[in-house]
Structures are given as C-alpha cells and as structure tokens.
Amino acid sequence: MTTMNLTPKQMRIFNFVRQFRLLNGYSPTLQEIADELQVSKVTVFEHVEALVEKGALRRNPNKARSLSEVESAVRPDEASGMSIPLLGRIAAGMPIERCAEDEKLQLEAIFGRTTARRGDMFALQVEGESMRDEGILDGDYVIVERRSTARNGERVVALLPNGETTLKSFYREKSGLIRLQPANPEFEPILVEDCTIQGVVIGVLRRY
C-alpha cells in the first residue's frame, strides 16, 4: 500500500468505500457513508476531499456514485476481498491465544462474495464445544463487533476478573451478578460480579 498519512476516520471511509464496492458492485453515496459512520454529510465530504488529495480515492464530481479507491493505495493481499483482523482463538474459560498482528481473515477468499457487516470488527477461531447448541462449533470463526456493553441473550467475548477470556451468552441477573451461559449442558454457567465486554458476536463463519 502506498505510504500516506490517513487519520482513523479517513481510513474508515477508505475501507468502507472499498468494501462497499466489493459487496455491491458500485460506489456508496456520501449520504450512505455518513449513515455508516454516523456523522454529517458535510464531514464526510471534507474527509473524502482529503482522501482525494492524498491519492487514496478518486471521484468524478459530475457523476453520482463515482468514488473508487486508487489501486496503488490497496495492499495486494487485500485487493481481492474484504478482510478483518484474526486476533486469535477462544474457548470456554480459556485465554485468547494471540495471532500475529498482521494476520487477516479473508472473507471473500473463503466464502466468495459476502454480506458481512462492515465496521469495527475482528474474528476469533473457536476451540471447544461450549456453544455447540447455539450452532457455534469447534473450528468455526466468530465475527465480533467491538462493543463494551451487551443486552441479555447476546453472545459476547468477555474478559473475566482472572484475566481469562470466554465466549458465552450474556445475562445480567436480578441479584446483580452476571451470568455467562454456555450452550452445552456439559458446561456450567460462569457467575461473576463484573466482567469486561470486549465485543458482541454478529456472525459465524464455517468452512466445509
């Protein structure tokens, strides 16, 4: 990828434009980008202008949906499909085993064109059968949206007080305790006074 000084928001816009084009076959409008980032259309316009000046995007001001990425601004290993960071592996009550920082899960390379949600996401590979009855099996990849809060019943990646990380369904009990519920009767629920939600599962990928 060409070396260029992009701000985090500019990088998000650049990645959104590229991924939107891969998934839909045409470019997003400024309003669609604004809706995705939850900012004003004026703010998006300013960032897009900066990206054009920096050589990351090109556009035709007289044509709708004309935004596209400059080929030299796309890393060769990312040009063929959407990728998200693969951070490691997770199992019931076990800590995350960190992967190399530059390891990516190439969604399109595995599954072809995908409708996976875009945004601040990462992937973890599941080890074990604690979430079996929710359809999350050993070897699956869970796609996780970074979030610090969760609603009852959502499947979360939770950091426990003892430093271990687990994948379970989140429930806040009337007693004030948090119940992290497995989806397999062979495993006991985990009850804690507090835990740190690192993300909420928004999808499961499986290779056959």
CB atoms within 10 A of CB 195: 19
Provide the pLDDT for residue 98: 41
Q: Which of 80, 168, 169, 174 does the annotation list as catalytic?
A: 168
More confident residue, 131 or 18: 131
Query: What whole-number percentage of the chain has pLDDT above 90?
Result: 23
Provide the pLDDT for residue 85: 66
Tens of pLDDT, residues 72-131:
555 444 444 456 666 667 754 444 444 444 456 655 544 444 444 444 777 888 888 899
Give the span between the Cα atoms of 26 and 120, in whole angstroms: 22
89 and 56 co-located in one domain: no
Give the span between the Cα atoms of 85 and 104, in whole angstroms: 5
Contact 168, 182 (CB under 8 A): yes
pTM comes to 0.54
Give the span between the Cα atoms of 81 and 97, in whole angstroms: 25
What contacts 111, CB < 8 A, 6 or more positions away? 205
Provide the pLDDT for residue 5: 66
More confident residue, 79 or 133: 133
pLDDT at 28 over 80: yes
Give the span between the Cα atoms of 202 and 142, in whole angstroms: 8
The CATH number of the domain where 101 resides is what? 2.10.109.10
User: Is 130 labeled as catalytic in the residue annotation?
Assistant: yes
Average pLDDT, the chain: 77
Provide the pLDDT for residue 192: 94
Answer yes or no: is 41 within a domain. Answer: yes
60 and 110 co-located in one domain: no
Q: Which of 130, 169, 174, 175 does the annotation list as catalytic?
A: 130
Over residues 159-178, the mean pLDDT reads 91
Number of domains in the chain: 2
Q: What are phi and psi of 171, to 5 degrees?
A: -140, 135
Q: Which domain holds residue 116?
A: 83-205
201 and 103 co-located in one domain: yes
The CATH number of the domain where 36 resides is what? 1.10.10.10
Provide the pLDDT for residue 72: 59
91 and 25 co-located in one domain: no
Provide the pLDDT for residue 26: 84
What contacts 34, CB < 8 A, 6 or more positions away? 40, 41, 43, 44
Answer yes or no: is 78 within a domain. Answer: no
114 and 37 co-located in one domain: no
102 and 191 co-located in one domain: yes
Give the span between the Cα atoms of 125 and 131, in whole angstroms: 13
164 and 87 co-located in one domain: yes
Answer yes or no: is 108 within a domain. Answer: yes
